[in-house]
């Protein structure tokens, strides 16, 4: 690496969870970094996230453990119920067992709370690193640097360019051309319910999944237990928009889940009208490669996965940690990005495949059979394989 190259920052496009964690990890290993986000103001977005130990382990390594614990909820227990009868098909403790078993806790957190924590930490540790109102347009490689061009006219040089700009990634399009997403035939509604609107029975266990024919309903607390977050999945016909935050009528969700356990309907009915959104689930096949020269992809830009394993944010966090380690270990940037891709691609493609398969399990006509014939054990084995992963020490 030349002296000039050493002074150049790693350019991170996108200030979502993956981009912010990548920036903090890069700073942690001693590399200069600059983050570019297209919006002019960061505002509250999204709803709940499940943070499994594979994700929280990396955040604790970056010194964010106490701050994360302050805004998150540790689930006491979890369960699976029959879609119609409400029968508890599976029950399992969580609490401190996650740290005991995996070395890191499991949390539920509001996406906006996590983003606010990451933004505040980045601004405190690397003042001036976050640049808003910078919509990425294109890039070009010039010798030992890559130059990014933005819609506001800015041109910035860096040693590497990381596309963390989500499922509609402009960086990915510049690398590999446009690719049309595929509608899965499934949609989901996201809702947030003030906890005081729910009875004690409707809140237990801490997290709960109802599964049934062509539908699934998952709910868990966020915001220190003040809000109940839910995601209501359904198989539906055609869909025109890929947005995950289209406002929806609560009555539409109630009609879709007619005949379900009254506890499910009670949570849906308690949703404030302004906190109900509809989300179409689109899918993309795994990319054969993520990197070209000094440019690579991270998180949903590289490997968007369906939500049925709850690992979208976790994979992006893992990516950011491994990427930073590769760039710190390997002086030649293109070689470092190849090491990152080789270390991450098999796991991320596996998660993409398993997320699809787990979605099919959610929509089984008779969920009772699944928890009586041993198939639930295969899910438990999958969960362990996901959660033991340590992005801070895995070979790269």
| Residues with catalytic roles | 220
Distances (CA, A) of 276 to 75, 161, 211, 238, 280: 23, 36, 21, 20, 14
Phi (first) and psi of residue 302, to 5 degrees: -95, -40
CB contact set of 373 (below 8 Å; sequence gap of 6+): none
Q: Is 83 helix (H, G, I), strand (E, B) or coil?
A: coil
CA angle 165, 170, 172 (to 5 degrees): 85
Q: Using CA atoms, how far apart are residues 257 and 265, in angstroms rounded to an integer?
A: 7
Q: Using CA atoms, how far apart are residues 317 and 392, in angstroms rounded to an integer?
A: 11
CB atoms within 10 A of CB 61: 17
CB atoms within 10 A of CB 125: 14
DSSP H or E run through 47: none
CB contact set of 287 (below 8 Å; sequence gap of 6+): 172, 176, 297, 302, 303
The angle that helices 312-329 and 53-61 make with each other, rounded to 10 degrees, is: 40
* Tokens linked to 123: 């601004």
List the one residue out of 98, 113, 75 whose CA is nearest residue 313: 113
Q: Using CA atoms, how far apart are residues 167 and 142, in angstroms rounded to an integer?
A: 27
Q: Using CA atoms, how far apart are residues 337 and 22, in angstroms rounded to an integer?
A: 13
CB atoms within 10 A of CB 258: 7
């Amino acid at each position: 690496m030349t002296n000039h190259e050493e002074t150049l920052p790693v350019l991170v496009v996108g200030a979502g969870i993956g981009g912010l964690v990548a920036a903090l990890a890069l700073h942690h290993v001693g590399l200069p970094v600059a983050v570019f986000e297209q919006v002019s103001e960061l505002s509250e977005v999204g709803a709940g996230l499940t943070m499994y130990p594979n994700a929280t382990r990396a955040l604790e390594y970056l010194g964010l453990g106490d701050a994360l614990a302050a805004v998150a909820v540790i689930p006491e227990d979890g369960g699976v119920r029959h879609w119609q009868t409400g029968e508890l098909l599976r029950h399992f403790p969580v609490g401190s067992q996650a740290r005991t078993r995996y070395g890191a806790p499991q949390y539920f957190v509001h996406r906006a709370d996590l983003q606010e924590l990451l933004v505040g930490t980045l601004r405190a540790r690397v003042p001036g690193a976050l640049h808003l109102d910078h919509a990425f347009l294109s890039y070009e490689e010039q010798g030992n640097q890559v130059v990014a061009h933005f819609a506001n006219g800015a041109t910035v040089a860096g040693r590497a360019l990381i596309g963390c700009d989500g499922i509609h990634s402009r960086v990915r399009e510049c690398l590999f051309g446009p690719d049309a997403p595929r509608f899965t035939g499934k949609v989901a509604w996201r809702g947030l319910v003030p906890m005081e609107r729910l009875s004690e029975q409707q809140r237990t266990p801490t997290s709960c999944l109802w599964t049934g024919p062509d539908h699934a309903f998952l709910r868990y607390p966020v915001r220190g237990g003040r809000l109940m977050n839910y995601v209501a999945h359904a198989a539906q016909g055609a869909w025109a928009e890929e947005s995950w935050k289209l406002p929806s009528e609560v009555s539409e969700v109630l009609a879709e889940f007619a005949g379900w356990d009254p506890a499910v309907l009670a949570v849906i009915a308690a949703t404030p009208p302004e906190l109900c959104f509809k989300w179409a689930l689109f899918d993309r096949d795994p990319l054969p490669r993520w990197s070209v020269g000094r440019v690579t992809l991270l998180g949903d830009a590289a490997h968007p996965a369906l939500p049925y394993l709850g690992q979208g944010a976790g994979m992006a966090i893992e990516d950011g940690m491994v990427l930073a380690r590769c760039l710190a270990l390997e002086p030649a940037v293109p070689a470092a990005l190849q090491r990152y891709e080789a270390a991450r691609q098999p796991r991320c493609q596996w998660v993409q495949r398993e997320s699809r398969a787990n979605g099919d399990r959610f929509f089984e006509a008779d969920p009772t059979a699944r928890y009586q014939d041993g198939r639930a054990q295969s899910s438990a084995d999958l969960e362990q394989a996901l959660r033991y992963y340590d992005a801070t020490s895995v070979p790269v």
